Amino acid sequence: MNNRRNWLKQISLGAVGLGFYPFETFANTPVEDSVFEYSDQSPILLLSNENPYGPSPLARTAMAKNINSSNRYGWELSSDLISLLAKKNNVLDANILLGAGSTEILDLVLQYTALSKGNFILAETTYNYWTFPSEKLGLKKITVPLTPDKKHDLTAMLAAIDSDTKMIYICNPNNPTGTICDREKLVSFIKEASKKAIVFVDEAYIDFTKEQSLSELVIENKNLIITKTFSKMYGLAGARVGYAVAASGTIEQLSMLKSSPNLSVSVLSTVAAIASLNDEKFIKEVYSLNEEAKKYTIEQLTRLNLTCIASHSNFIYFSLENYKKDYFKQLEEHNIMGTKIYEENGKWTRITIGTMKEMHQFIEAVK
């Protein structure tokens, strides 16, 4: 108990964060007996918008130091993480629910929505893997096309709400397009739409922008749910830490769908998340490395006459319409994993922004 308190105090004072750490050297570091083996032959992973720099050095240390605590349940640590997240988001502890990645929150919100049947609305094209069980849950999915510049069409989404609509999902910044909603327009959309249904805002990529999160709005609005993750900026995709921010009553409702709310994040993942929250240096570095590699990649793709959408995230949406070679064959030959075509019309695809070295290799591959 005292150790936990001391550690938290130390972490929050930044005492363990002092000094220089060359975190770039951690990227893809081979770890003895690790399930992920890296070598020069390993594929370059530019498909899932992971952080190529790995977890923050403080998170690595925290996990390594706490390995022996994995025999215990992490109730108290979860409460510590909840309090830190409440502080970070300017809300109360009762406004936070932890999940094993934001996927658990997305699943829960879908199940919660399904309790009252009806339909839910989302953009075409947006992050939609989590909607796959919707039909089985008795929910009808309504999709609303993006605007020609690949943004959420908030006016059309508002107009699509009918008396059966139970939830509207907005991914902001949007995956896969990397576009962001104008804050004022989004706030007024939320005000209107939440009179009729739950507005569910996914801020998985908000840390890659200078935008302020919408989380504070949940205090006043019981029909707004925000979800966030440690998988992207914080480099903890494999650790599985995410959370919901919502009005306390809504958090209670979501929690009732779980036998043990806040228990799905392991002790090691919880200490990693706590340590990461205090590693501002790492976050700043990842932000600027991502910006730099993004700028380079967009410039190079544009030189190849490929249209790119301005990105507010760690990936780029671009069109293969003018591309003369077989893009996927080029990637395969260069051992690079990209993702699919999202929109046949315009042949739009997405590439995750890796390290500068990886982006040089990507550009060489597609040249």
Residue 108 burial (CB < 10 Å; 0-12/13-18/19+)? buried
- The least distance separating ligand PLP from the CB of residue 322, rounded to whole angstroms, comes to 27
Nearer residue to ligand PLP within complex by CB, 8 or 154: 154
In whole angstroms, the minimum distance from the beta carbon of 175 to ligand PLP comes to 4
- Token pair for residue 273? 């998340």
Copy the structure tokens of residue 14: 């930044």
Size of interface with ligand PLP, in residues (CB under 6 A): 13
**Least distance (Å) between residue 125 CB and ligand PLP:** 12
- With contact defined as beta carbons under 8 Å apart, do 289 and 53 qualify? yes
Query: Is residue 23 a contact residue for ligand PLP (CB under 6 A)?
Result: no
The residue within the footprint of ligand PLP, chosen from 89, 165, 175, 269 (CB under 6 A), is 175
Q: Which amino acid is at 149?
A: D
- Give the phi and the psi of residue 281 in degrees, each rounded to 5: -60, -45
231 binds ligand PLP (CB under 6 A): yes
Check binding of 275 to ligand PLP (CB under 6 A). no
Nearest residue relative to ligand PLP (C-beta): 101
Q: Which is closer to ligand PLP, CB of 57 or CB of 242?
A: 242
CB of 100 to ligand PLP, least distance (A): 8
How far apart CA 114 and CA 195 sit, in angstroms, is: 18
Site string for ligand PLP, 46-85 (x = CB under 6 A): ---x------------------------------------
DSSP-derived letter for residue 168 is E
Degrees to nearest 5, angle at CA 332 with 345 and 360: 90
Q: Report the DSSP beta bridge partners of residue 141.
A: 120
Q: What residues from 88 to 117 belong to the interface with ligand PLP (CB under 6 A)?
A: 101-103
| 207: contact with ligand PLP by CB under 6 A | no
185-204 residues near ligand PLP, rule: CB under 6 A? 202, 204
- Is 356 a binding residue for ligand PLP by CB under 6 A? The answer is no
Sheet with 140-145, strands from edge to edge, namely: 96-99, 242-246, 224-229, 198-202, 165-171, 119-124, 140-145
Q: At what angle do helices 57-65 and 267-277 cross, to 10 degrees?
A: 150
Closest CA to 316 of 285, 344, 349: 349
Q: Does 342 bind ligand PLP (CB under 6 A)?
A: no
Cα 127 to Cα 116: distance, rounded to the nearest angstrom? 23
Tell me the two tokens of residue 356: 């500068």
Asked if 253 interacts with ligand PLP (CB under 6 A), we say: no
Residues that bind ligand PLP (CB under 6 A): 49, 101-103, 127, 171, 175, 202, 204, 229, 231, 237, 242
